Amino acid sequence: MKTTRFLPLLAGALLLAPAATIAAPVASLASPAAAPDAKPAAITRIDPTFWWVGMKNPKLQLLVHGPGIGNSIVTLNYAGVTLDGVQKMESPNYLLVNLTIGPDAKPGKVALQFAGAKKVKYEYELRARNTDPNRTQGVTSADFVYLLMPDRFANGNPKNDVVKGTRVNRVARDSMYARHGGDLKGIENHFDYLKELGVTAIWPTPVVENDQPKASYHGYALTDYYTVDPRYGTNAEYVGFVKKAHAKGLKVIHDVVLNHMGSGSYLFRDQPAKDWFHQWPSFTRSNFRDAAFNDPYASGYDRKQFGEGWFDTHMPDLNQTNPLVATYLIQNFLWWVENTGLDGYRIDTYSYSDRNFLMQWGAAILEEYPKIGMFGETWVQGTAQQAYFAQNIFPETQGFKSNLPGVTDFQMYYAINETLTKDAGWTEGISKLYYTLQADWMYQDPMRNVLFLDNHDLSRFYSVVGEDFQKYKMGLAWLLTSRGIPQLYYGTEVLMKNFTDPDGKVREDFPGGWPGDKKNLFVAAGRNAQEQEAFRYVSTLANYRRTHPVLHSGKLMQFIPDAGVYTYFRYSDEGAVMVMMNSNKDEKTVDTARFAERLDGFSSGQEVTSEAVISDLKTLKIPGRTAWVVELRK
């Protein structure tokens, strides 16, 4: 599908500025105290908070908020910047200012004057773009992603635990729904731990402001699109966080929500217009049935309820069919990349957003940052349905053709869980892995999909497999040797456990992340023997994968499971690795003759995690509940 540039669209009457301009520079109102000649409350904020010269899309839509600002006439005088017009909103407290940032524009302060009942001056900053080649590196199958919840990982700065003026002004580590005090500094303090583990990319759950009165720690009900939550740090500290991560060889994935926001946002409390949100006569929750989007027999009501119903009572659903809303969101996520140099986006509740908007959003991000990694949460049923939301081989359906590079691969998650919890059958148990992988023909590039064993919304993997350590190792071996981008949930490497219900303990604090913790699992001395073995197993495989491209970028060939044993190969001109998984309780003898096309030329091998040498590849006896990762040798 051809990528087209998404330009801000204007709905309704366009109010053109008069010819008069302001020639003299004026004091900035970004901080009201800096402009004593203006009324401090006249402009409360402008989004985006600043912008850059030299962006590929020269159009910029400013959303100005302040009491009665909507009745203002706007003028400016800045070389290379053109005022295209202003637009009133339904609320008198908003005004849209549309600009073109020409190729000759230089960094500096654009003096905007708002003339109405009051005269207000505002200096809007245009910055130079950062040309550091290490910024926005992207996320690929060569990476190993570590998912963590900042509030639950480590507290590096107790001074920001409680921030005056926020709706939650306490920490309570004995409550799973309260804030616990983790922050960006806490993550930074453990960069070396992540490097030792073999991690190459960090995915924190949303770090933007989530100033909600309940369960604000998770970040998925944002209240300010342009501000890091002060309990995690400042915007400047987040920029520094990304830079320090890059210096350590760690990429950063920014978790974002397109579908909804938190009810505490100023945009909801003082709505620019009713059509910025999906409105219902009474609260209507989404039916969470993504199939209604492309079901050829779906009712209009089901489709509307899925896409326009609210995710929860405190999560207003955004109307992305409104071009002003679409532009606001697109600009925001361009802003975060340019401001921080982040490497990838994980998009929460991806399938719930308006499909035309998803195409516009993806095209705009990829056009400006073609290297950026992007994958969306697609908690759906069936591989075809999952592939529908990724770049795929399907024809355009109902005007939708996804441009999303990758997805969170729930189908492979279901398959590995069935492998480790059900007996093998024709299509059941370990055969599920084979058949799920066989369906990769639907994707343009399945290597961009993200594999996982658990996450912040799911029961922890070690508990799901009944705290069976052998099954645990089988799952990790699969995660780090199959196709795609592996993602590990924090604490899985040290056997953290628990189920999603009834108390949400899958989001417990990482032991050792807070001063005074009884256990410290960040260090070997704090782990018991099995926790240390788990850490060693993950670290050994992850670091081997990192240094052996065949395992993350090589081709994959799988063989149909036989008698509960599943075998596949990762191979390239540089070498080959054989992975053999025995899902049975008992040892199995495997005749490898049918693997001849991949074993040809190899006479022996070494199991990566145990370093055991396999001198004869013709007949293998693999113990029950075991996965071998064998580097083949000639």
The catalytic residue positions are 348, 377
- Computed over its alpha carbons, how large is the radius of gyration of the chain? 26
What does the alpha-carbon distance between residue 261 and residue 66 come to, in Å, rounded to a whole number?
21
By CB atoms closer than 10 A (0-12, 13-18, 19+), residue 164 is exposed
- For 342-359, the three-class secondary structure string (H helix, E strand, C coil) is CCEEEEECHHHCCHHHHH
3-class SS at 464?
A: helix
Segment (H or E) for 424: none
The sign of the dihedral angle between the CA atoms of 372, 378, 384, 388 is negative
- Answer for the pair 358, 290: CB distance below 8 angstroms, yes or no: no
The H helix count followed by the E strand count for the chain is 16, 26
Collect contacts of 552-556 with beta carbons under 8 A, ≥24 apart.
Answer: 552/141, 552/142, 553/140, 553/141, 553/142, 553/447, 556/437, 556/482, 556/483
Tokens 């056997």 — which residue? 495
Beta strands (DSSP E) in 535-614 are: 555-562, 565-572, 575-582, 588-591, 604-607, 613-614
Residues in a beta bridge with 46? 64
Instruction: Return d(Cα 617, Cα 604) in angstroms, integer.
Output: 6
- As given in the structure block, the two tokens for residue 398 are 């109902």
Q: Could you give the 3-state DSSP secondary structure of residue 315?
A: strand
SS3 366: helix
Identify the bridge partners of residue 88 per DSSP, sorted by sequence position: 95
Q: Which residues contact 424 (CB under 8 A, 6 or more apart)?
A: 430, 431, 561, 563, 564, 583, 584
Nearest residue to 559 via CA among 592, 519, 607: 592
d(CA 47, CA 330): 12
Length of the chain, please? 634
Q: Is 43 helix (H, G, I), strand (E, B) or coil?
A: coil
CA distances from 73 to 13, 81, 323 (A): 14, 17, 23
